[in-house]
């Protein structure tokens, strides 16, 4: 059984997917963390978003592993735990840029499909239901208004004691939406057979319950 959750940045896909996976006993595949890890590698190695040759070459040098230790997800990039680094705002913004590159998508596509073929899993991202797992038994398109998504991100940063500018976060979200929806390869869009869930006025528990109900009735 495969569940695909797609949607724009800040819609709560990862939070929801983790909770649904725990409730159903499925494996959660964090595709966003995979793309962020690749973006982090490119940033740290000074590889430009316009340098397709070096991007392709770099992909051959990257290994990504996701492990769960004490119920906490850890992401390893070439055996370094980068779980904290990949959550930086600049890494998230660049992840959308590098995700538009064919070499990057090819790097992760086969790995994600292999996991799904062997396990009951839930996977979230921008193109899971439309491209990565087009035959998933359940597809969800999870979204929320720009204002709602920006406020969630703002509160998250403030709670972590980080500086945050609400208007700048809104602009970043709008820019990421544009990049994700207008890229040439597998752009973000709602699959024809996906269930639309707008979480703007829903609690996390309500969204989790709505998805689980689709699975177990």
Q: What is the pLDDT of residues 62-75, one digit of tens each?
A: 998 888 787 788 89
User: What's residue 183's pLDDT?
Assistant: 87
pLDDT bucket at 201, cuts 50 / 70 / 90: very high
Is the confidence at residue 203, as pLDDT, over 90? yes
pLDDT by residue (tens digit) across 143-165?
999 999 999 999 999 998 989 99
Q: What is the mean pLDDT of residues 22-33?
A: 89
Q: What is the CA radius of gyration of the chain?
A: 17
Enumerate residues 6+ apart whose C-beta is below 8 A from 208: 16, 19, 20, 23
The mean of the pLDDT values for the chain is: 93
Q: Any residues with CB less than 8 A from the CB of 27 and at least 6 apart, and which?
A: 21, 115, 119, 120, 121, 122
Contact 120, 24 (CB under 8 A): yes
pTM over 0.85: no
Residue burial 95-129, b: 16+ Cβ < 10 Å; e: rest: bbbbbbbebbbebbeeebeebbeeeebbbbbbbbb
Q: pLDDT at position 70, please? A: 79
Nearest to 193 by CA among 142, 119, 135: 135
Mean pLDDT of 1-5: 97
What's the residue count for the chain?
Answer: 217
Selected residue with higher pLDDT from 115 and 11:
11
Among 5, 6, 3, residue whose Cα is nearest residue 126: 6
Q: How many Cα atoms are found within 13 Å in the side-chain-facing hemisphere of 185?
A: 13
């Amino acid at each position: 059984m495969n569940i695909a959750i797609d949607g724009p940045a800040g819609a709560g896909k990862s939070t929801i997917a983790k909770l649904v996976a725990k409730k159903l006993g499925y494996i959660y595949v964090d595709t966003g963390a995979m793309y962020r890890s690749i973006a982090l590698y490119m940033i740290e190695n000074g590889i430009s978003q316009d340098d397709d040759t070096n991007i392709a070459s770099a992909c051959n040098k990257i290994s990504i592993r996701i492990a769960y230790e004490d119920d906490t997800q850890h992401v390893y990039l070439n055996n370094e735990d980068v779980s904290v680094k990949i959550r930086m705002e600049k890494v998230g913004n660049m992840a959308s840029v590098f995700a538009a590159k064919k070499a990057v998508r090819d790097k992760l596509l086969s790995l994600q499909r292999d996991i799904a073929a062997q396990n009951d899993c839930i996977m979230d991202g921008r193109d899971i239901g439309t491209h990565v797992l087009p035959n998933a038994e359940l597809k969800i398109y999870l979204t929320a208004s720009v204002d709602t998504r920006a406020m969630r991100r703002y509160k998250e940063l403030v709670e972590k004691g980080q500086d945050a500018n609400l208007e700048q976060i809104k602009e970043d979200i709008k820019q990421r939406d544009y990049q994700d929806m207008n890229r040439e390869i597998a752009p973000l869009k709602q699959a024809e057979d996906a269930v639309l869930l707008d979480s703007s006025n829903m609690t996390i528990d309500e969204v989790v319950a709505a998805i689980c109900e689709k699975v177990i009735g």
